[in-house]
Amino acid sequence: MNRPAALLLASCLALPALPSEVADSVRTVGIDAVTVTADRRAKDLRAAVPTQALDAAEMRSLGALQLSDAVKMMGGAIIKDYGGIGGLKTVSVRSLGAAHTGVVLDGVPVTDAQTGQIDLGRFALDGVENITLSGGQEDGILMSARQYASASTLAIKTARPTFTGKAVNIAASVKGGSFGFVNPSLRLDGHLGERLALSVSGDYTHVRGDYPYRQDNGNATVERRRENSDIDSWHVETNLFGSFDGGRELTAKAYYYASERGLPTNILYNEFAGQRLWDRNFFLQGKYTRRYGHRWALSATGKWNRSYNRYYDPVVYNAKGYDDERYRQDEGYVSAAVSYRPLECLSLSLATDGIVNAMNATLHEFAVPVRYTLLNVLAARYVHERLTVSASVLSTATHETVHRGVAAPGRHRLSPAVSLSAKPFGGEDFRIRLMYKDVFRLPTFNDLYYGTVGTRTLLPEKAMQLDGGITWMKLPRGWVSRWSVTADAFYNRVTDKIVAVPTKNLFIWSMMNIGRVDVKGVETTAEIQFDFPGRVAATVSGSYTWQRALDKTSSTEMPYKATFNHQIPYTPRHSGSVRAAITMPWVNLGWTMVASGERYCNQYNSPEYRLDGYCEHNLTAWREFTVRAVRLKVQAEVLNVGGGNYEVVKNYPMPGRQLRAGVVVNY
């Protein structure tokens, strides 16, 4: 602990003495959406680490409601979807597993120390300016250390209010759709003096979710309805944006989310489903950045998070006759980062994060763990017209205590990363990129302490990533105004993979570090943009990923039926998506397709565990009207146009055809 502590101290002492300058904040006032998209795409292509982004306009053309709807369009991302709006949705990027994907909301990580994975279904896309999925860290250098700590990062950026001669903005929307979907939302933006803007938003979602599906069972196949699949969720958020003289920026957020949902089942010959889940999450976060002249910048971030889950099963044949378990997590987080630019083309940064995670649960003899994490990162970045090189090394140190039993030992590791982007041919916007990154994830509290399952001696799960690829963009004249392609080959290796293994019997599973997965694959994306006469524009883009994520767990662990070289569960060899949007003066249309090849639902790839591939199409149409100062947007969507029930996760059927319509009023 001594060395990281010293670093933290040093960086804190160094901060006040720094000179200052304002950075240009990303203000998009009055800029045409298409231009923004083009700029953003160009920026993504320059990145040395594979980066994909979608902005608000693109997400609108997808008909996306939840964050997961947008992420599943991205190359290399495999969404594990338990079906329906209330079903858990997690993302695994390039087969590393959901726990290796960090979610960052407005620059501050959203975490769950209990499960290590974030439900992407709970983030609505209203008021989101863009989302970015990057195979490594984002390219900005002034980042918290924690943003270097995930194998890949999904960043969500909330739209910053803009005021065109008004004191107040009002946005109200209501959406409705199949299976009892209702979703009203309201957002108010206002000035607080010259320098501050305040935004308050809230939304409510109700879904009955009782969609019909076919339960395949040979000649006893039945049409069933998804029972106990309802969800009610509330979300309220307040954002404060401040820009001050002297290059000072402040953002702060207060966030509250609450939901209650049913957990459906799909058991043959038994339709009973009564389990309920409640989630509550509240956090406060703030971020302050200041630039001192051209060379120095610093940022400070703080967050306090509390989340609460309750799981209720009305019929359990224990002494009580039911299960009612509650879980509470607290997280305190502070981060300080400083960057220095000794040369025009070279930046250095140092960031220190301190995190405290605590968890309590009503489980029998629960350990009540507290984890202290200290992260330090030193990063350097060289930027030249023809060459960008980034390198970083992250140090992670943890210490854990428990109220009961034995705590997991502390861990200390260094995680290096290097990336490079070169533009070898003068005027041609053709780049070659290379990346190496070696990070890990800590075992979650569930991995370590959950009843008989948890294993306190677990080692961190390591994820090594190698990527090599090209990007190429052209801005020709004529109807095709822009096209771009990317192609990457990657090799990932997960070692000490944490897997649940039944030990004594089927009732006693334990977490063990026995797995190893080697992933090799190719990920390609392409985008083409048309500008037709008569204010008609179109964009077509697609992604295709081929990956072999093979279980390389030693066959000595499993002498019979070794799963060595079998594709890991729920990982298709082929996956891809296509989206097309056409904007016209009278109406805008969008079409998306997400396709997945065959997968296996078991680690042993025999025919009986094979899941068919699927292909889902969505159609969207929308139009904006302006009546004086009021902008009105009307949107209609048909989701899963083909209407077939498919399964992403075995026994969790997805809904068939759904209709959705909404209206948004902006003042």
Site for another protein in 401-460 (CB under 8 A): 405, 424-425, 428, 430, 432, 451-452
Nearer to another protein, 234 or 491 (CB): 491
* Sole binder of another protein in the list 258, 332, 650, 666 (CB under 8 A): 650
Q: Of 560 and 586, which has the nearer Cβ to another protein?
A: 560
Distance, CA of 20 to CA of 244 (rounded, Å)? 12
Say whether residue 223 binds another protein (CB under 8 A).
no
DSSP state of 445: H
400 versus 488: smaller Cβ distance to another protein: 488
Using the rule CB under 8 A, which residue among 604, 633, 641, 665 binds another protein? 604
CB 415 within 8 A of CB 438: yes
102 vs 50: CA distance, rounded Å: 15
Q: Under rule CB under 8 A, which residues in 283-302 are in contact with another protein?
A: none
**Measured distance CA(474)–CA(468) in Å, rounded:** 21
The least distance separating another protein from the CB of residue 385, rounded to whole angstroms, comes to 18
Interacting residue with another protein among 17, 319, 342, 625 (CB under 8 A)? 319
Q: Which of residues 361-400 bind another protein (CB under 8 A)?
A: 364-365
Residues 237-256 that bind another protein (CB under 8 A): none
- Give the rounded distance of the alpha carbon of 648 from its chain centre: 18
Residue 486 vs 583, nearer CB to another protein: 486
Interface stretch with another protein, choices 161-169, 331-339, 502-510, 575-583 (CB under 8 A): 502-510
Query: Which one of 21-29, 112-120, 286-294, 562-570 is the stretch in contact with another protein (CB under 8 A)?
Result: 562-570
| C-beta closer to another protein: residue 150 or 524 | 524
Choosing from 84, 136, 521, 655, the residue that interacts with another protein (CB under 8 A) is: 521
* Binding-residue total with another protein (CB under 8 A): 78
Residues in the chain: 667
Q: How far is the CB of 272 from another protein (least distance, A)?
A: 5
118 vs 512 by CB, closer to another protein: 512
Considering only residues 459 to 498 of the shown chain, the ones binding another protein according to CB under 8 A are 468-470, 472, 487-491
What are the phi and psi torsion angles at 46 (to 5°)? -75, -20
Q: Which is nearer to another protein, 26 or 406 (CB)?
A: 406
537 φ, ψ (degrees, to nearest 5): -135, 155
How far apart CA 577 and CA 31 sit, in angstroms, is 28
CB nearer to another protein: pick between 372 and 604: 604
Residue 597 tokens, joined? 């090849």
CB 599 within 8 A of CB 609: no
What is the C-alpha to C-alpha distance for residues 484 and 75, in angstroms, rounded to an integer? 14
Q: Binding another protein by CB under 8 A: which of 33, 284, 316, 589?
A: 316
- Specify the residue, 495 or 602, whose C-beta has the smaller distance to another protein: 602
CB-wise, 282 or 430, nearer to another protein? Answer: 430
546: closest CA among 572, 569, 568? 572
Q: How far is the CB of 261 from another protein (least distance, A)?
A: 18
Quote the least distance from Cβ 90 to another protein, whole Å. 18
* 201, HSE (Cβ side, Cα atoms, 13 Å): 23
Question: Which residue's CB is nearer to another protein, number 122 or number 431?
Answer: 431
By CB under 8 A, name the one of 193, 507, 556, 585 that touches another protein: 507
Q: Which of 26, 268, 414, 475 binds another protein (CB under 8 A)?
A: 268
Instruction: Please give the C-alpha separations between residue 247 and each of 13, 194, 294, 381, in angstroms, as whole numbers.
Output: 20, 15, 10, 22
Strand partners, 337: 299, 351
Looking at the Cβ atoms of 521 and 662, the one nearer to another protein is: 521
Cβ(30)–Cβ(417) under 8 Å? no
Q: Out of 219, 245, 534, 628, name the contact with another protein by CB under 8 A.
A: 219
- Stretches 51-59, 143-151, 529-537, 603-611: which one binds another protein (CB under 8 A)? 603-611
Q: How many CB atoms lie within 10 A of CB 398?
A: 20
* Strand 508-532 relative to strand 196-207, pairing: unpaired
The correct pick among 206, 225, 520, 633 for binding another protein (CB under 8 A) is 520
Q: Whole-angstrom Cα distance, residue 401 to residue 410?
A: 9
- Burial pattern 308-329, b for ≥16 Cβ within 10 A else e, equals ebbbbeeeeeeeeeeeeeebbb
Question: Hey, what are 75's tokens?
Answer: 């190359």
Collapsing DSSP to helix, strand or coil, 637 comes out as strand
Pair type for strands 152-158 and 101-105: parallel
Q: Write out the binding residues for another protein, residues 525-554 only, by CB under 8 A.
A: 546, 548
Instruction: Give the three-state DSSP class for 71.
Output: helix
Contact pick of 28, 401, 510, 666 for another protein (by CB under 8 A): 510
- State yes or no: residue 610 binds another protein (CB under 8 A): yes
- Residue 597 near another protein by CB under 8 A: no
* 213-218: long-range pairs with CB below 8 Å, 24+: 213/645, 213/653, 213/654, 213/655, 213/656, 214/645, 214/653, 215/266, 215/268, 215/653, 217/268
Footprint (CB under 8 A) of another protein, residues 16-45: none
For residue 415, the minimal CB distance to another protein (Å) is 24
> Using CB under 8 A, which of the segments 214-222, 245-253, 331-339, 587-595 binds another protein?
214-222
Distance of CA 587 to the CA centre of its chain: 31
CA angle 244, 245, 250 (to 5 degrees): 25
* Number of Cβ within a 10 Å radius of residue 535: 10
Contact range with another protein by CB under 8 A, out of 104-112, 213-221, 577-585, 630-638:
213-221
Residue span binding another protein (CB under 8 A) among the ranges 158-166, 216-224, 243-251, 290-298: 216-224
* Residue whose CB is less far from another protein, 201 or 575: 575
Here the tokens at position 405 are 């039993």
Instruction: Restricting to residues 144-183, name those near another protein by CB under 8 A.
Output: none
Cα 11–Cα 12–Cα 14 angle in degrees, nearest 5: 65
